[in-house]
Amino acid sequence: MHAHNPYRPDLASIREVVQETANIKTLRVVFEDESVMHNFSFRPGQVAQLSVFGVGESTFVINSPPTRREYLQFSVMRVGEVTQRIHQLNAGDQVGVRAPLGNGFDYENMQGKDILFIGGGIGMAPLRTLLLFMLDKREDYGDIMVIYGARTPHDLCYQYEFDQWQKANVNLVLTVDNEFPGWKERVGFVPTVLSEESPSPHNRVAIVCGPPIMIKFVLFGLKEQGFEDSQIITTLERRMKCGVGICGRCNIGAKYVCVDGPVFSRQQLSEMVNEL
């Protein structure tokens, strides 16, 4: 980040583009200035503003972990003007990156605990960061369970990594909304699968990210399982512009999602005004 001009991105180039699903691409990006790349540090869960000059900027979580520093990875779902353009980019193309922004996950407080990741669709992206970070420090954490759902098997991101996750002793539960030819894993919505699995809340942290409707029912489900508000972590999305707590739009009450978030515990959310 530029101290005098927090709106000015650092130039970066795309090293590789991975087509995850029909409308999600993953970009692997390196800063052009080697010293920027070398000195770059961040917490899992922190975000970046990715720009295409002439089109605009959008916010994405850095979904590569801080422990793997050869590139920064972003997964981008095509929904609006900027993401449309990002999807047209190829390896070698230039982008702007302002990072790290936001608070990131409080992983220190998760050490020694069992972890439950619950993700839906593109919502797996922030979870992947923390998951890989934990896998790189596997001994610091207890059981790791991942419940990951998408509409169809084709809508699951990071499929090429599932094997590695499982090899690292991750209990990976995959589910899709409806029956699908050749699909051998679970079928049903994430909240249903959660109640079927019914993981014990004892000494466990649940980290939830996905579409608003999924989050709503998962939070309800977790409550039923006996999870306390402080054991439930989620990430919020808001329309952002500046990313540095100035431009004003991403507030929920006095909190700005861009600097005070995007990671909030359910406890924190319950203390904020209800304007999601």
Partner 1 sequence: MNSDLRSELHKKAEQAWPDLELLIGWQAGYDDLHTTPVFIRDSAEISKLIWNPWCTQNLAVYVAKHFAASSGKDDKKIGVCVKGCDSRSLIALLQENLVARERFYIIGMPCKGIVDLRKLHALSGAARILSVQVNAEQVALKSAAGVLHFPLDEVLMRKCRRCRYPNPLIHDVLVGDPLTPRTDAHEAYNDVAAIERLSLQERLAFWQGELDRCLRCYACRNACPLCVCQDRCIAETRDPKWLTQYMHLPEKFMFHFIHALHLAGRCTECGECERVCPMEIPVALIKEALNKITLELLDFEAGLDPQRVPPLLTFDAGETGI
Partner 2 sequence: MDTAIKFIAFDQLNSALDRISEQLDVWVPVASKDQKRVIQFAPYRPGMTLVLDHQTTLGPKQVVLPQVEALFRFDYRKSADEPSRQKVQLEDPHPPAPTLIFGARPCDVKGFLVLDQVFSAGPFVDGIYAARREQTLFATMVCGQQDSACFCSSVGSGPTDRTGSDLWITPIAAGYVVEALSDRAHPVMAWLQEAATELHVAAAGKVQEEAARQQVGNLAVDQCQQHFLQRFADTNYWQEVAGQCLSCGICTFVCPTCYCFSITDEMKDKHGERIRSWDSCMFFTYTLEASGHNPRPSRLERYRNRVGHKFSYFPEKYQGLIACCGCGRCIRNCPVSIDIRKAVQNLQGQNHACS
Query: Which residues are at the interface with partner 2 (CB under 8 A)?
Result: 1, 3-9, 11, 51, 53-58, 79-81, 83, 92, 94, 96, 212, 237-239, 241-242, 244-249, 251-254, 259, 273-276
Residue with smaller CB distance to partner 1, 85 or 238: 85
Q: What minimum distance in Å lies between the beta carbon of 81 and partner 1?
A: 5
Judged by CB, which is closer to partner 1: 56, or 153?
A: 56
| Residue of 169, 163, 192, 187 lying closest to 177 (CA atoms) | 187
Minimum CB distance to partner 1, residue 84 (Å): 8
Compute the least distance from the CB of residue 76 to partner 1, in Å.
17
- CA proximity to 259, closest of 273, 276, 274, 241: 241
Which option in partner 2, partner 1, none does residue 259 bind, with CB closer than 5 to 8 A by kind? partner 2
39 and 87 in contact (C-beta within 8 Å)? Answer: no
Shortest spacing between CB 205 and partner 2, in angstroms: 26
* Closer residue to partner 1 (CB): 81 or 106: 81
Shortest CB 88 distance to partner 1, Å? 14
Which region, judged by CB under 8 A, interacts with partner 1, from 80-88, 119-127, 162-170, 267-275? 80-88
Contact between residue 205 and residue 112 where contact means Cβ atoms under 8 Å apart:
no
Instruction: Say whether residue 239 binds partner 1 (CB under 8 A).
Output: no
Query: Could you tell me the two tokens for 60?
Result: 């994405």
Contact region for partner 1 (CB under 8 A) — 29-37, 79-87, 154-162, 241-249?
Answer: 79-87
In angstroms, the CA 73 to CA 274 distance is 32
Rounded to the nearest 5°, which phi and psi values hold at 12? -145, 160
80 binds partner 1 (CB under 8 A): yes
Cα separation, 119 vs 250, whole angstroms: 23
Distance CA(229)–CA(89), nearest Å, equals 41
The C-alpha angle with vertex 76 and arms to 86 and 132, in degrees rounded to 5, equals 135
3-state helix, strand, coil in the chain (%, to 5): 30, 30, 40
Which residues bind to partner 1, rule: CB under 8 A?
Answer: 56, 80-81, 84
